[in-house]
Structure 1
């Protein structure tokens, strides 16, 4: 029977500070964290899963020692590694991927008549109903998977599996629940990144909201639950929720650590409708002022949702009077840590980075995933200065949205002139068909032409917050150029005949030259 200890065998891909890419064991990542730059994997979901796991491992070992004061002390000295080593020594038998009694994150007695391909664990691979977006192999092509890759896929499968599909019947449990989405997959995950992986793990080792909040147990400290039998066990149980009943299949007669198949089905439904309490989620407000997780939207860059990523009031609070935006807990606690370091004269010289990871899905299929990084200017982390910086960012994003609204108004006016009947007969209907207008505007793809120019300038805006007025002036100029370019692109596609040229002129007159809406004309007889 093969063995594969996640504590001792290399399986976590990382990048050293000198750029070298290597795989390390779980223990070695902690031991060498000060010399590592980051976790280095292609899949954003696997990146998020590994980061969550590494933080939970530290939390499980250090427990009540995770306080703001200790984090500030560990920033210089590192966390107490002997305590981490002792914890993993205590639970070492629970970290073997192929252990017969307690395989890591798996149900040891679970099976079906026939196993599925290992590719079913990895969202980026083509298997079953998965779209062939990232990989073009089919189930019959799937070779055995080495244990290191299977461990990463297993973790990603547990934390980011999607709902959709009826529950199968297994010999051990009978009818399983229908497939449900894992709680970590319900929104955008936010991490704060430092100069080293050690700093990054400390930044995301966010203290609980109150000491009364139970820590609970991570999944490896518990017997793997039967379907429908698991309950939330504090913060650590929440972050290692067993969404699927899984078992990896290997060749019991071989010592080669490879996975040849899998058994998987729904385990226990997440017991709440929203992952409330997840410290790594960004939140937006509903019109009723209720927080819901930010989601990735196709065709929309995550920086456009800076109100949720940074905790800005923005339009959400305007729609829900009196509602307060929620800054991601991990970012709020990073601000507290920065303040402690600053007061001690040890403020970091390099700015931190906000890493946002998420996916857009449709009917159990991943449409796209995102891994975006934004600088976190020091000003954002400091009391009143932070509030002022957030207001500048909010203003910048709202300006961009308003200019785009004006651009859309102009292009719709252009399209309407092109497609309307144009009859001058008395009583004839010369109104444009709205469907034809929408189809023409969609074909011009002004969204990509406009928003595609703003990513780098927005990062420059964040870097220039110390001179807010200058930064906003430059930003406004960028918006106007982007709108001009997008309208010019649509105009070029409209054609060169006299009607098209007239339509281009009339469309542009729908808004001002600086891409602001023209004031409405007062009605006759009004004062």
Structure 2
């Protein structure tokens, strides 16, 4: 029976609803139980989740991790984790038994305990609304970039389940329906309380060679620095929610740990269905969760120190989730991913903290729980909101491939050279942008567009080169030798683009004109002067290119 009495049940444990990509490249839709049973390597195994959006993949992964953590009640430490890693498959019988114990809570349409919903949720007028409210690829009022030209009028049960999970994680802010029983409702409306929890994050997770590896790489042991309380459990292990939000001591102390956090009920939702599928939804605010200083609880994001929040809250130290910049490739932010979680130095706290999930991977490398040259991808996923966080404007999705050795304490020098190599690329492209600016000024033209075009091309041509260079760094790599090799690649690439810009400068730029410099002097600026300045600056920034190779490089 559905939440509105119109359809039979839909068992998420047995029914297919999670989209996956197999190791042989084909796509499937599997049940919750099948995903764990086929997470291993092999032709019929699963390479990765896919989702309707990258953010949906992130939300579904966290759901799977909550199941796995709770089924195992662990891992307790790295030794227990290593036993799981060395097995060929996940402990599927233990997972089957666990899911069987919560079968009613995993029924999407259960009359009393529908999955991640409130069965009797209603407004004063007993109304429900179109599914556009939970389907993130149908922006409210702007359907130009969607395949759903007439909105999401009806969903099958599988797709509705995916968007339900996504809504709890990424639902925008704005005015919501006011549920009867929610003390926060005024005049029948739920006023803005912020986006779903994952929407605050610059999401980061580790990806292995198959789904089993991915799940285990993100399965943080309970003795880590991430806070875990004895009461930690996922949403389906708590009593069914009602319209009211958390209050009192429960609000103060939750989330109790990873299982609670990964399934956080940031919204109160009720699906309306019949035998043909889901045709409506009621979406209201649920349990609030403030973003400041949650770095001891949330491992799947980097964190930045916020002087603005420190002043606003009257606190000495406040860390906020570091969101992704959609136009910036993940490797350009390598420092925030790789730089260690430094403590106070000379009385000052660290400006940034790398993600707890990367700290966990570093621990696996340090404890030699993984072979030092094991490949791993650092995936970055996030949502950018617009119009007072009431709509999702953009979704980011990127990955950086590397070997686990790069995170180990013993690889500190190699890790620093990798971070500095990303800075080399930034500096070289900055110099390239200056060249484009100088040529445009010499011709008496506007400089903004030429500079932006040159920078876009510079980063575009270095992108693949850097990813390949980083992926090949290994435990026996020479830190300085690898950096020198990278600087030479940057020099060749950027100098070649610069040569093309100079060749295409035009007669006006070669003739030049007199300009006033920043210190008030006059300068005859032409393409020749701009070219000399470019090569001098590039040579200084990439100084290792002038050094001879060392033995063993």
TM-score by length of 2: 0.79
User: Among 211, 217, 230, which residue is 2:233 paired with?
Assistant: 217
Once the two structures are TM-superposed, the CA of residue 237 in structure 1 deviates from its matched residue by 1.7
Q: Matches of residues 392-411 of structure 1 in structure 2 within 5 Å?
A: 392-411=417-436
Write out per-residue CA displacement over residues 331-358 of structure 1, whole angstroms, 9 at most, x where no aligned residue: 222233344455xxx7376412222212
Give 1:154-233 correspondences, 5 Å limit.
154-163=164-173, 165-171=174-180, 173=182, 174-208=188-222, 209=224, 213-214=228-229, 216-222=232-238, 223-229=240-246, 231=251, 232-233=254-255
Q: Residue 350 of structure 2 is aligned with which of 323, 327, 341?
A: 323
- For residues 327 and 450 of structure 2, the distance between their equivalents in structure 1, rounded to whole angstroms, comes to 15
| 2-structure distance, mates of 1:122, 1:319 | 49
**Residues 288-299 of structure 1 aligned to structure 2 (within 5 Å):** 291-299=319-327
Equivalent residue number for residue 281 of structure 2: 262
Measure how far apart 1:367 and its partner are: 3.0
8 Å contact from structure 2 (residues 181, 243) kept in 1: no
Q: Is the contact made by 1:414 and 1:507 (CA closer than 8 Å) also made in structure 2?
A: yes
In 2, the alpha carbon distance for the partners of 1:180 and 1:41 equals 24
In structure 2, the residue matched to 1:98 is: 109
C-alpha displacement of 1:280: 1.4
1:480 deviates by 2.6
Find the counterpart in structure 2 of residue 334 from structure 1.
361
Match of 1:10 in 2: 16
Q: Which of 370, 387, 402 is the aligned partner of 2:396?
A: 370
Among 414, 424, 437, the alignment partner of 1:389 is 414
Shift of 1:449: 0.8
Query: Is the 2:75–2:220 Cα contact (8 Å) retained in structure 1?
Result: no
Conserved 8 A contact 1:191-1:330: yes
Offset from partner CA, 1:384-413 (integer Å, 9 cap, x none): 22x122111111012122222322333333
Alpha-carbon shift at residue 160 of structure 1 (Å): 1.2
Instruction: Report the Cα offset of residue 85 of structure 1.
Output: 2.2
SS in 1 for 2:526: helix
Once residues 375 and 106 of structure 2 are traced to their aligned partners in structure 1, the CA distance between those partners, rounded to angstroms, is 36
Gaps of 5+ in 1: 421-435, 519-527
Indicate conservation of the 8 Å contact 1:190/1:357, yes or no: yes
Matched, 1:246 2:265: no
Deviation (angstroms), 1:359: 2.7
CA contact (8 A) 2:234 2:262 kept: yes
Residue 317 of structure 1: CA displacement? 10
Structure 1 vs Structure 2 CA RMSD? 3.1
- Is 1:463 aligned to residue 471 of structure 2? yes
Quick check: 2:21–2:28 contact (8 Å CA) kept in 1?
yes
1:366 positional shift: 2.7
* Stretch deviating more after TM superposition (483-492 or 300-309): 483-492
Contact 1:283 1:293 in 2 (8 A): yes
Cα offset, 1:511, TM superposition = 3.7
1:54-85 CA-to-partner distances (Å, cap 9, x unmatched) read 11111122224442111101112244433322
What is the 5 A alignment of 1:263-278?
263-273=282-292, 275-276=294-295, 277-278=297-298
Once the two structures are TM-superposed, the CA of residue 187 in structure 1 deviates from its matched residue by 2.1
1:50 aligns with 2:60: yes
Matched, 1:87 2:101: no
CA apart distance, 1:148: 0.7
**Correspondent of 1:361 among 348, 368, 385:** 385
Structure 2 runs not aligned, ≥5 long: 1-6, 183-187, 308-315, 513-524, 542-553
What corresponds to 2:332 in structure 1? 304
Distance 1:154 1:475 in 2: 45
Partner in structure 2 of residue 74 of structure 1 = 84
**Alignment: residue pair count:** 488
Task: Report the TM-score when normalising by structure 1.
Answer: 0.83
